Structure 1
Amino acid sequence: MAYWLMKSEPNVLSFDDVVAKGVPEEWHGVRNYTARNNMKAMKLGDEAFFYHSNIGKEIVGIVKVVALAHPDSTADLNAKGEVVWECVDVSPVRKLPKPVTLETIKQTPELANMALVKLSRLSVGPVTPEEWKLLCKMGGL
């Protein structure tokens, strides 16, 4: 299993919104090739931190990949009539008992090389197993 971090603006889609829907959520709207390629690399059962960006700037929950990369329903076709943008579907696993803020992450030396810190504009990025374990502990799990 691989681990990831997926960002969403909570005023657009929050972790609580995903929980309340009760059905898998298409992680649509990503328009960055690296983030798209990260989703294409995801496997069923991979887990991701759900990160509230812009408002809050914190990891608030965990989701799992329940559908592999497929055409993003919000994307237009390119000039050749091809689908360029893809996404995965996720379902909530659990809310973190204690959200982990970006400020705390940046102050933690063991997380200095985390994609969230190094590639701050990347909306879907990898998380190493060591980072995952530490962040879960920091979040009260």
Structure 2
Amino acid sequence: MTLQDTPRVPPSARYWLMKSEPDECSIDDALAAPGATVPWTGVRNYQARNFLRDAMQVGDGVLFYHSSCPEPGIAGIAQVASGVRPDPTQFDPASPYYDPQSRDDAPRWLLRDVQAVRKTRLLSLAEMRQHPALENMRVLQRGNRLSITPVEPAEWAAVLQML
């Protein structure tokens, strides 16, 4: 990977791992979307929502992770592309992410747009577990099921080296 293949992140940027089921939105789907940008809908965990709302910044780097599939793992590189706004799926009774307790004047669930930068080879969980620099990465911790987790700068660099 060359420098021009990675997102241009500001010096104060953070890094994230964001999980998506490929049947719902894969890295290929994101790359095919207008501007290679998709709304990151369906976050229904308060801790993940708080990361999205309070800690993410436009330009932050994202490891695009495929989950709930035969071989989960990192499938691409992306970046946070928008500020936070209400997730419209919480108001749609036909959506699997509908939340009848969420109100228009006080939405519970938020989203940000994510812009795909490039597809990578699939970096599986098994391969990540073998790399000592990733031993503390949240996605590898027992019981971690969050759809959005912070990634340390050293972990980001190690993953980029592995891709």
Which ranges in structure 1 are unaligned for 5 or more consecutive residues?
none
What TM-score comes out, normalization by structure 1 length? 0.91
Cα distance in 1 for partners of 2:46, 2:75 equals 25
State the partner residue of 1:69: 84
Letter in 2 for 1:121: R
Give me the CA root mean square deviation. 1.6
What TM-score comes out, normalization by structure 2 length? 0.79
Aligned pairs (5 A) from 1:29-40 = 29-40=42-53
Deviation at 1:29, TM superposition (A): 0.5
Cα distance in 2 for partners of 1:79, 1:10 equals 29
Q: Which has the higher strand share?
A: 1
State the partner residue of 1:54: 68
Cα distance in 2 for partners of 1:42, 1:80 equals 23
Letter in 1 for 2:140: V
Q: How many residues align structurally?
A: 138
Structure with bigger gyration radius:
2
Deviation at 1:111, TM superposition (A): 1.1
Cα distance in 2 for partners of 1:79, 1:50 equals 30
State the partner residue of 2:148: 124
Letter in 2 for 1:36: R
Which ranges in structure 2 are unaligned for 5 or more consecutive residues?
1-12, 92-100
Aligned pairs (5 A) from 1:1-141 = 1-23=13-35, 24-40=37-53, 41-55=55-69, 56-76=71-91, 78=102, 81-96=105-120, 98-118=121-141, 120-139=144-163
Structure 1 residues 80, 67: CA separation in 2 closer, same or farther (over 3 Å shift)?
closer
Extract structure 1 runs of 4+ deviating beyond 4 A: none
Give the percent of matched residue pairs that are identical in Structure 1 and Structure 2: 41
Cα distance in 2 for partners of 1:2, 1:81 equals 30
